[in-house]
Structure 1
């Protein structure tokens, strides 16, 4: 659909598409966004969104300045599965302040692949609400930090149901979140970090942040990864430390498999 520019126009009657459960958009090279904010309130049943090979797409969820939510603020959006593939111009998933008005608490599965212009995936306000997230995979993207920094209090991110996290070939990735924060991954069983060559420290305790000259990928508040069973670290040219000496007792205590491949710098 090389010539399609808009999925839905301004004249649609309220209630349109209200039973839509799955939306797949492929090879629409003139589309700039997928879901404008004015129809978010209509998509009360949308559980799966798959977007692939849209060469001009800049944002998935677009905030519109005039009457952005059509007079009906959306407290909770039902989306469970989000897949974004081969979107070279994608700058952000959530536009501007939209994520302060809409909650994506139902997200369970997120996969992002070959989005070279995407510097971060989640705004902090979205990340704090991802209480149902179970699997997250990001490959070959321009991600610098997984969660974009916002001004305000020190954020706490509790990914209480996340069991699988895979970060592959993110050559710009430095950390999950820049600056002081607290992270919990109590259910995480599988962690893969491959080809993230700007990462120098894998995990460090929050209390040690002031003594670190380099930002770790994971800044841990208490026990680090208490449920982790499989850890894969591969092709990490600049990594110096996997974990510091101050991690709490119980960290990594369920680890069954540790794979290290092509790590060229001395590890501690």
Structure 2
């Protein structure tokens, strides 16, 4: 079973660079944990904290990332590299990665300045897409900004509670928003802090009876297409004066 794509055993600290790689698709690799091994002893490594990409991986030209049916994947990006990693990404698709509980920490959003397409589906353990990382302490996350995002699709996410935590989310370029079969989704954004999710029984703090979108918290000024299908718990779509 493949647990890594590149074995960097000869030079532990060397970086692996693919300067012309524009599109990366990983599919049907149920044991994959890392793109490039860091050769930490497995007996002392918590697999739940192993990111798919670490400081050795260099993709300066990558514009598209597809992660499909990677059942062992629990983290995509190394928390220490958020400010300089993948800032050329334009399209991200994640499907069938059942051990992911969130897609990215809130501090990564500001680095994805070119992201235009985000699609997440069939990940049965995702509770929220943008999470508040532990390093932020108890401070509430502020504004979430996706400057160039044009299309956002969320589907078949059976445990999704919300898209993100924060005071507001702004997507000034968003044209299409499609939410389908996310039956437990209660609101798009809330400023309540999530509980730490370490097992299947823990869930994000309940925000029942909130509308899906709240005025001044969700800013999509150029939205043209909105599709909402099969969400069981929401009582209203939009609320505001």
- TM-score, shorter chain, exceeding 0.5: yes
Which of 193, 210, 225 is residue 230 of structure 1 equivalent to?
A: 225
1:161 aligned residue:
148
Mapping 1:82-97, distance limit 5 Å: 82-95=65-78, 97=79
Are 1:54 and 2:26 matched, yes or no? no
> Higher relative contact order by CA 8 Å / sep ≥ 6: 1 or 2?
2
Mapping 1:135-214, distance limit 5 Å: 135-141=117-123, 142-150=125-133, 151=136, 154-178=141-165, 180-202=166-188, 213-214=207-208
Structure 1 residues without counterparts, runs of 5 or longer: 13-35, 207-211, 247-268
Which of 94, 113, 121 is residue 131 of structure 1 equivalent to?
A: 113
Do 2:168 and 2:189's aligned partners in 1 also have CA atoms closer than 8 Å? no
Superposed structure 1 runs of 4+ greater than 4 Å apart: 2-6, 59-65, 215-223
Do 1:93 and 1:122's aligned partners in 2 also have CA atoms closer than 8 Å? yes
Q: Once the two structures are superposed, what CA deviation does each residue of 1:92-131 show, in whole Å capped at 9, x if it has no partner?
A: 1113x34346322111000011111111111222222111
Mapping 1:9-20, distance limit 5 Å: 9-11=8-10
Do 2:211 and 2:234's aligned partners in 1 also have CA atoms closer than 8 Å? no
Structure 2 residues without counterparts, runs of 5 or longer: 41-53, 192-205
Do 1:59 and 1:91's aligned partners in 2 also have CA atoms closer than 8 Å? no
**d(CA) in 2 for partners of 1:37, 1:217:** 46
Do 2:4 and 2:36's aligned partners in 1 also have CA atoms closer than 8 Å? no
Do 2:9 and 2:39's aligned partners in 1 also have CA atoms closer than 8 Å? no
Q: What TM-score do the two structures reach when normalised by structure 1?
A: 0.66
Q: What TM-score do the two structures reach when normalised by structure 2?
A: 0.72
Deviation at 1:159, TM superposition (A): 1.0
**d(CA) in 2 for partners of 1:102, 1:149:** 19
Q: Once the two structures are superposed, what CA deviation does each residue of 1:225-258 show, in whole Å capped at 9, x if it has no partner?
A: 1111111110111121211124xxxxxxxxxxxx
* Secondary structure in 2 matching 1:88: coil
Which of the two has higher C-alpha Rg?
1
* Secondary structure in 2 matching 1:92: coil
**d(CA) in 2 for partners of 1:53, 1:85:** 6
**d(CA) in 2 for partners of 1:62, 1:243:** 46
